[in-house]
Amino acid sequence: MASKTIVVAAIDFGTTYSGWAFSFKHDYDADPTKISAKQWQGGHLISMKAPTAVLIKPDAKTFDSFGYEAENKYIELASDDNNEHKRWYYFRRFKMMLHEKIGLDRNINIDDETQKSLPAKTVFSLVIRYLKEDMLKISNDRISSEHIREDEITWVLTVPAIWTDAAKQFMREAAIEAGIKNENLKIALEPETASIFCRLLPVEKMIEGGGIASFKPGSVYMVLDAGGGTIDITVHEVLSNGKLKELHKASGGAWGGIQVDEAYRQFLISLFGNPVFRRFQVENKEDYLDMFRDFEIKKREIAPDKDTKVTIRLPSSLKEIFMDESGEDLRTAIMQTKYANDVSLTGDKLRIHSTVMKSLFSNAIQSTVSHVKELMKDKIVHRVSNILMVGGFSESKMLQHAIRSSFPNLKVIIPNEAGLVIVKGAVVFGHSPSSVSHRVCKYTFGVDMEVPFDNQKHDILKLIERDYGPRCQDIFDKYVEIGQSMALNLTTTEHLYQPTTESQSSVRFTIYASTQKSPMYVTDDGCVKLGYVEVDILDKSVPRDQRSVLVSMTFGGTEIEVTAKEKRTGNVAKANVNFLG
């Protein structure tokens, strides 16, 4: 936490929805759950977060609007006959580009709605800057004295626990570009922050299942963070000091709520045909957006025990395009599809049988349930007695029922406003970053190095000749092992490295991750290059073999940190860690 912190502010940059929350230190000390969050509104839909949509002006660098405002303005631009919207840049739901990107480049571009590209860093930083300034404006309005200074704020940015270190670094650099100082910024893992906040909530703040605040030391529970883009799962144990210990490495996949949206879109395409629906999406953006905003409300009401038909208002523009493209009557055409017995058209209302609407959830739910079942086979995870469901998609009755029915021996706990506990927990994390005392390594981490060649154990293909003798290259120098429990900010033992040539003024080595416990070479199966570390050698006056550098890495936090010092002098050396190429 920043040394003069009086406010902790958290930004939840989500795939589908984003928002922020904050609390003053004096409020946190009195009541940790006293946290302010903004309420957003778009049409008839009121939410505690806004759609992750940003509109950028035609100069490709100036922010225009965010959230519902960006959606509405882009639609207004698109309604003009002169195609003015094609000059603007409109991005939505773009966070997923960082999912599972191990070889991420900081200069990567992303395409907007009309396939124009901008640097992804620019788009992310503009959104973070907007959320930052929006929070500052409202928090400053709360106090009548002078405004809060930048160095008095600790910022927390949430990311999925299953993200790579490259993706975390990308978000950190985007936040710095947005005007947040590096030393005032913390990266928090989403399921962890949700768990931290729910530990503070009394039973009456839960929808069902009781609470986790009363869990005794030794209690083990699973956190299932179901967001718009990803399902993020961790397993926590309550320690005697009240802190949390991660028992199993974070896991999950891209099975979030947007899979349901995509299933709905594919359903509509099967009714109207791809050419019709594509033309409708391009020519009638306002009707298209209203149709999906309507579905956003409807899908929250879909439940396993509801057999009533769901009514969707059908825009007249879609019916007109269908008639223009096909020359058929829409009602008659629907009767010729596989949904003849499940879908009917009355006026401008599409009446859809509940079984069809429930089926839209199948892929997302089945993937999630299958993954949890696989996790439960692990003897550590088998100790779980409760599942805490958080994240916006956890508010779905369909997902809740699937988890309860698939795991009848486990108690399912769901907090009120499940989509907000992540950002509120991030605020608590900012005030108390040591709430999670242990984390589990997702991979075996190490670096590449050279050692003296040994004919008895080294591959002859790895032999390289140096002036000072034969060496074996590509050795995997292991720091921590997959599945290893790491205490918060635990620093590994120091590893010794030397320059390979007399002229070197720095030592550079590559960081690798492996799914194996003890790989011998960085080229072994399961090894992936993450990035590199470059350590400056301050004392260049001595021979190569005396210019040794001692390097250690700090794990157990939310990001990997590297420290280095010269062995001969003890001087701290500058170590630049780069996971972004």
* CATH architecture group of domain 7-206+426-433: 2-Layer Sandwich (3.30)
Q: Rounded to whole angstroms, how far apart are CA atoms 51 and 390?
A: 18
Q: Rounded to whole angstroms, how far apart are CA atoms 318 and 276?
A: 8
For residues 378-392, give the mean pLDDT: 94
pLDDT in tens, 397-449: 999 999 999 999 999 999 988 889 999 999 999 999 999 999 999 999 999 99
Q: Where are the chain's structural domains?
A: 7-206+426-433, 258-359, 441-578
pLDDT at 542 (0 to 100):
78
Q: pLDDT tier at 82 (50, 70, 90 boundaries)?
A: confident
Between these two residues, 546 and 307, which has the higher pLDDT value? 307
Domain 441-578: give its CATH code. 2.60.34.10
pLDDT at 9 (0 to 100):
96
Q: What is the DSSP string of 220-287?
A: EEEEEEE-SS-EEEEEEEE-TTS-EEEEEEEEEES-STHHHHHHHHHHHHHHH-HHHHHHHHHH-HHH
Q: pLDDT tier at 68 (50, 70, 90 boundaries)?
A: very high
pLDDT over 90 percentage in the chain: 66
pLDDT at 521 (0 to 100):
98
pLDDT in tens, 152-208: 899 999 999 999 889 999 999 999 999 999 999 999 999 999 999 999 988 766 766
- Lowest mean pLDDT segment, chosen from 244-248, 347-351, 565-569: 565-569
Q: Residue 45 belongs to what H/E stretch?
A: strand 45-47
34 closest CA partner among 428, 434, 426: 428
304 closest CA partner among 235, 357, 367: 357
pLDDT in tens, 125-141: 999 999 999 998 887 77
The DSSP letter of residue 461 is G
Q: pLDDT tier at 22 (50, 70, 90 boundaries)?
A: very high
Q: Rounded to whole angstroms, how far apart are CA atoms 309 and 302?
A: 10
For 372, the token pair is: 């949890």
- The answer to whether the 7-206+426-433 and 441-578 domains have the same CATH topology is no
Residue 145 has pLDDT above 60, yes or no: no
pLDDT at 3 (0 to 100):
57
For residues 68-86, give the mean pLDDT: 86
| Exposure letters 331-345 (e unless 16+ CB within 10 A, then b) | eebbeeeebeebbbb
For residues 560-581, give the mean pLDDT: 82
